[in-house]
Structure 1
Amino acid sequence: MTILTHKNTSTQNNPLVSVGPAKKIQNPSREKNCSLPTRPLLAILVIVFAFAATACRKDLSELNINPDQPLSADPNYLYVYALQQGMGNYNSDVNLRQWSIMNWTMYLAARGGVEEGREYEMPSGKDAFWREQYTNTLSNTQIIIEMAAENPNMVNMKAAAEIWQVYIFQILTDLWGDIPYSEALKGMTGLVFSPSYDSQQDIYLQMINKVRDAVQSFDPSAGFFNPESDLIYNGNMMKWQTLGNSLMLRLATRINRVDPQTYATIVEELKNKPLIRSQQEAALFPYNSVHKNPLWETMYRNESVIQNNPSKFFADLVDSRNDPRASVFFQEAPLSFLPFIPKYKGIPNLLPNGHAAWDNYNLNQSLGIAGEWGDISQIGTWFLRNNTPGVIMNYAEVCFLLAEAALQGLWDEDPQSLLREGVRAHIEYINLFGDEEHQIPESEIHIFLLNLPQVTLEEVITQKWLSFAYEQGFEAFAEYRRTGFPVLTDYFGHAINQDIFPKRLPYPPSEQTLNRANYNKALINQGPDNEFTHLWWNNTLSH
């Protein structure tokens, strides 16, 4: 069940559009010509049928009920569906995250290079992702919230749904900037079919308040309505509170350059609140053979996506640090048994088509399958399993957020220790969900942590970028735009051209046709509807 956010002029097959009561149309000439003897006869027939209808009313009303069509939505089904849709699907993963976001942030690179002037092509899946999240995820959580207003037993499901809404809305505003927020989900109850756009500044402040209120509204005496519908925490309200508080920290950190006062206030507020500080408290989505991990599904359903390999930037960065996660991030190049081919080798980002440097790749196709790009690594098999969990927010990220706060003197822990804790947390997460093939020994972890560089903001964000690999491309894209780290470089070692790097996604064309007036107002507030317009939280950044 979904809620339309725009008015649909067609009512055919649309149960959400009310056409109103049928208007009675009278024919004066027919009424005038009705003969006198006919009127008593009509009255008698009306009385007879009235008695017959009264006698059969109960049976007829029961016959009118379709047992296969429930009279009200099942909140458990809506909740499960909203969680699943919020985690993405095959189509959005192929067209938005794989081909675009993870190429832009240099986790991946496409074989064959780029065309000059088309280094950062806009993804075809962006419009579908906008539609999916508004119609499938947010609208269904809104139905739960409205149902809970009449059912006090749903108070905790309502709070979790509100936290989930904020999680999704942050992704959307970080991708597009100003978006429909305060009026976005009022198509059913408020009949708002052309919602106004809120400024990103207002959205962030409202999201922080909404998460805070949701965390405070959890009621331990009420239960979770149905814990089995909670695919993330199985109805554990304390863990939902830790996620809510941790999400507040993420929200506040994102705006710390443009609103340092709010950032400092939130960090201070969270000092006495539970945060995600263990693997057991991490918010993970349990992909399985039914609802498959989109990355796994992408790689095994779409052969063209196999043309995306780990990038040279990524492989070189991991290799230069002797990072023990290399064997997890990458598969060994098939031809790496040859002395002149490294074990882990990536595809160069932003290298133009036909450049002579491509002679150093795809070395010998005459070797058959092994030679067809056999000198290049593929994504590590740890990530290419249908049951590899989806990360919503994990222990490592919270450590890095706190390390950043500690660097600014706002958190009372040692930033170097928090940096080490975050790196360890990510490696232990890999071990926790890995088989024997994907275990990193404690001895290697210990040595790696001892040799970590001195803590700086660049090091914190770089380690966060590594922990986001393949799984949290949206967060990596946002954090790069906020901080400029890690410093992305092209094949020649030059820093990328920030003038052409995307700052946001253009709005879907449907917004120009179905919501034109509010779309135009958004452009006045935010700027031109192209990928070069800065968002509110990164409009002060120059790198």
Structure 2
Amino acid sequence: MKRIFIYLTVFGIVAGSSSCDKGFEEVNKNPVQATSVDPVYLFSNAQFGSAIATQNYQLQIVQQINTPYTGVLEGGNHNALSDPNSNANFNSLYLQNGPVNLLTTVLAKTKDDPARSNLYNMARIWRAYVFMVLVDTYGDVPYFEAGKAFLEGINLPKYDDQKVIYDDILKELEEGTKALDATKAIETGDLFYKGNIAQWKKLGNSLLLRAAMRFSKVDVAKAQTYVTKATDPANGGLLSANSDNAYIAFNSTFNHPLANYFQGTERGNVYLGHAFVDYLKTTADPRLRVISVKYETPGNPIATAGAEDTTPANQEGMPYGYNESTITGAPGFPGKIGSAFKYSQINRRTAGKIDAPEFFITWSQTQLLLAEAVVRGWATGDAKALYESAVKAHMAQMATYDVAATIAPAAQEAYIVANPYTPARALEQINTQYWISSFLNGSEGWANFRRSGFPILPVNTYPGKDPSVKDFIRRLVYPVREKSVNQVNYNEAVARMGADELGTPVFWDK
């Protein structure tokens, strides 16, 4: 019977293929599966996917978030190597359905389509942002061949010189921004501005300003040239209000990437850094009250965490240089409640909410960079006015987290009066405020800290740190798998760039 069944089956297939193929293709088509995708949906997914978790290294290097623990939470807290944590940016942004691949596909689908020219140029601008994050994090990375596995069969892309990548980033931002045209089709699927061209021009110019300022230590002429281009009003201007901020608004279904870190299983292990809390406390910064809290039972979910103390004078950030055992010997150790420590934590009702927004580039950051450019003589304007406006802008931005985080204009003005702008300390003041304005934007806060040297932070003296780290971590190492899977290109990058170590600086940090 088995042989007969096989024979009949084969006969049926042969007979069907020779005499009954009419309508075969139609029968075997999935009537509900999409055969093509509007590239704007790929673009919006790339925007959404650009919000990445940066807590284990970036936020700890700039001493805003801290944990004493070794193991799965280790990284910037101890200046230690941890592949699962250092590869987060690389893996997230180069993911098969991540921003690099999605944006590369959008560019390929829209490059020769005049009807989608705005989407094409928006994708150029946002791809430049994504690669700024990658280069700032790792140095040399796959760029010109990246995202082309499906399009061109390039599964092992070569790594490109980071300086060459940045030159192309400058070109893409300048050209892409100028090419945006409000008379052409508006891409309402855009998550930032619903395709508003005036705002996209501001975003492109503001990113160009950010990229230009990266050269402040290594190529002053190039920095000044591109600052001039970015600030030219004829090109569309810079971000000019908090309504221009580029961010992703999360919700109860699609949670912020750090939601589990602040609200979930790690909530009792994560604290605010001592330097961050101490600076806000010393300057009587009204942002401290809405960012920092001491919970009665810090290890519990917010519903059972008990009393919430937000009094600024009572806040205590966790110092660096300790692990879960030695922290008990830190000066002024406040003690424990169960397995959790009595240090201040991020407020889970404001900046630590599961649906907190993720900010990529803001009006406050942009004004501070412009203020620095004015101080350096690369742009015109009133540095003091820009500085004060930027500080107030970030304080006003806090309300985006929650109405409970609103800082009244009177409190904003009082802070400015109590902490006046001083020309002799302009660069330190401007970049220290940039550090605060970049709170939870770990990649940008870390990049600007390396570029500017501010704020002045105490060196983390943890005894088990990686030997390549002299003072602060300068870059993250490549994922371990790259050494074996993409070995030839990996080795070429390391030979050109320098050792694949935490202490090797990226090109603009030298």
Shared fold (TM-score, shorter chain, > 0.5): yes
**Other structure's SS at 1:125 match:** helix
For residues 254-285 of structure 1, give each alpha carbon's deviation from its aligned partner in whole angstroms, at most 9, with x where no partner exists: 12211211111111122223110111111121
What does 1:30-109 correspond to in 2, within 5 Å? Answer: 52=19, 57=22, 59-88=23-52, 93=53, 97-109=54-66
- Contact 2:370–2:386 (Cα < 8 Å) also in 1: yes
Partner SS, residue 331 of structure 1: strand
What's 2:427 paired with?
A: 457
Stretch moving more, 474-483 or 287-296: 287-296
Shift of residue 533, structure 1, vs aligned partner = 1.0
Which of 321, 332, 335 is residue 360 of structure 1 equivalent to?
A: 332
Alignment partners' CA distance in 2, 1:397 and 1:179: 26
Which one of the candidate residues 375, 379, 384 is aligned to 1:407?
375
| Letter aligned with residue 283 of structure 2 | R
Q: Distance in 1 between matches of 2:384 and 2:111?
A: 46
Aligned mates of 1:298, 1:112 — CA distance in 2 = 13
Q: CA deviation at 1:50?
A: 9.7
The percentage of counterpart residues that share the same residue type is 26
CA–CA distance in structure 2, aligned partners of residues 354 and 230 of structure 1: 49
Closer, same or farther in 2 for the Cα pair 1:350/1:51, shift >3 Å?
closer
Measure the CA separation in 2 of the matches of 1:355 and 1:51.
Answer: 78
CA gap of 1:450–1:131, structure 2 versus 1, over 3 A, is: same
Number of the residue aligned with 1:245: 205
Decide which moves more: 242-251 or 284-293.
284-293
Aligned to 1:147: 109
- Supply the AA of the counterpart residue of 1:445: Q
Aligned residue among 475, 479, 501 for 2:444:
475
Partner of 2:56, secondary structure, is helix
- The aligned residue for residue 263 of structure 1 is 223
CA distance in 1, matches of 2:498, 2:150: 31
Deviations 1:202-224 (A, max 9, x none): 11110010111211222323223
Unmatched 5+ stretches in structure 2: 1-13, 298-306
Number of the residue aligned with 1:171: 133
Q: What is the CA–CA distance in structure 1 between the aligned matches of 2:294 and 2:313, rounded to whole Å?
A: 8
Q: Work out which of the residue numbers 230, 236, 252 in structure 1 matches 2:190.
A: 230
**Is the Cα contact below 8 Å between 2:262 and 2:346 reproduced in 1?**
no
**SS of residue paired to 1:513:** helix
* Cα distance change, pair 213–262 in 1 and its aligned pair in 2 (3 A): same
What is the CA-CA distance between 1:356 and the residue it aligns to? 6.6
- Aligned counterparts, 1:249-398, within 5 A: 249-270=209-230, 271-272=232-233, 273=235, 274-303=237-266, 305-332=267-294, 334=296, 342-351=313-322, 353-354=325-326, 357-358=329-330, 360-363=332-335, 373-374=341-342, 376-380=343-347, 381-398=349-366
For residue 484 of structure 1, what is the amino acid of its counterpart?
G
Matched to 2:508, the amino acid is W
Q: Give the drift of 1:104.
A: 1.6
Q: Do the aligned residues in 2 keep the contact of 1:332 with 1:378 (CA within 8 Å)?
A: yes
Distance 2:138 2:38 in 1: 32
- Would you say how many aligned residue pairs link Structure 1 and Structure 2? 469
Q: Which residue of 1 aligns with 2:177?
A: 215
Specify the alignment match of 1:121 in structure 2. 80
CA deviation after TM superposition for structure 1 residue 372, in Å? 5.3
Question: TM-score, normalising length from structure 1?
Answer: 0.80
Question: Where in structure 1 are there 5+ consecutive unaligned residues?
Answer: 1-45
> Which residue is 2:3 aligned to?
none
2:120 aligned to 153, 158, 181, which one? 158
The separation in 1 between residues aligned to 2:317 and 2:380, in whole angstroms, is 40
* Structure 1 position 64, deviation (Å): 3.2
| C-alpha distance in structure 1 between counterparts of 2:66 and 2:247, whole Å | 27
**Tell me, what secondary structure is at the counterpart of 2:66?**
strand
> What code does the residue aligned with 2:184 have?
A
Deviation sequence 1:409-447 (CA, Å, 0-9, x none): 121111111111110110111135531x32222222112
* Counterpart check, 1:488 vs 2:460: no
Q: What is the CA–CA distance in structure 2 between the aligned matches of 1:337 and 1:234, rounded to whole Å?
A: 38
Please tell me the residue identity of whatever aligns with 1:398. T
Shift in Å, 1:315? 1.2
When Rg is computed on C-alpha atoms for both structures, the one with the higher figure is: 1
1:487, distance to aligned residue in structure 2 (A): 0.9
Matched, 1:421 2:381: no
What SS does structure 1 have at the residue aligned with 2:278? helix
Q: CA deviation at 1:151?
A: 3.3
Structure 1 residue identity aligned to 2:186: F
2:149 match: secondary structure: coil
Shift of 1:342: 4.3
SS at match of 2:119: helix
Residue 4 of structure 2 is matched in structure 1 by none
Structure 1 position 355, deviation (Å): 6.3
Does the 8 A contact of 1:178 with 1:197 survive in 2?
Answer: yes
2:8 corresponds to: none
Q: CA deviation at 1:475?
A: 0.7
Map of 2:300 onto structure 1: none
Which letter does structure 2 place at the counterpart of 1:259?
D
What is the SS of the residue equivalent to 2:501? Answer: coil
Q: Distance in 1 between matches of 2:148 and 2:69?
A: 47
Match of residue 301 from structure 2: none
Structure 2 letter corresponding to 1:521 = E
**Residue type of the partner of 1:464?**
Y
Q: Distance in 2 between the 1:148 and 1:222 partners?
A: 14
Does the aligned pair in 2 maintain the 1:113–1:351 contact within 8 Å?
no
Give a deviation string over 1:278-301, Cα, whole Å, max 9, x none. Answer: 111111211112221222332222
What CA distance in whole angstroms lies between the structure 2 residues aligned with 1:65 and 1:213? 42
Distance 1:491 1:127, change over 3 A: closer
Q: Is the 8 A contact 1:100 1:121 kept in 2?
A: no
1:30 is aligned to none
Alpha-carbon separation, structure 2, partners of 1:536 and 1:150: 34
What's the C-alpha RMSD, in Å, of the aligned pairs? 3.1
Residues 453 and 151 of structure 1: is their aligned pair in 2 closer, same or farther, counting only changes over 3 Å? Answer: closer
* TM-score of the aligned structures, taking structure 2 as reference length: 0.84
Write the deviation string for residues 436-490 of structure 1: whole angstroms up to 9, x where unpaired: x322222221121123241411111100101111x21111111111122111115
**1:533 corresponds to which letter in structure 2?**
T
Deviation, 1:395, is 0.5
Shift of 1:391: 0.4
Tell me the distance in 2 between the aligned counterparts of 1:261 and 1:297: 44
Deviation by residue 1:69-109 (Cα, 9 ceiling, x = unmatched): 32223323322221221112xxxx2xxx2232212210022
What is the alpha-carbon distance in structure 2 between the residues aligned to residue 500 and residue 450 of structure 1?
34
Q: Secondary structure at the match of 1:189?
A: helix
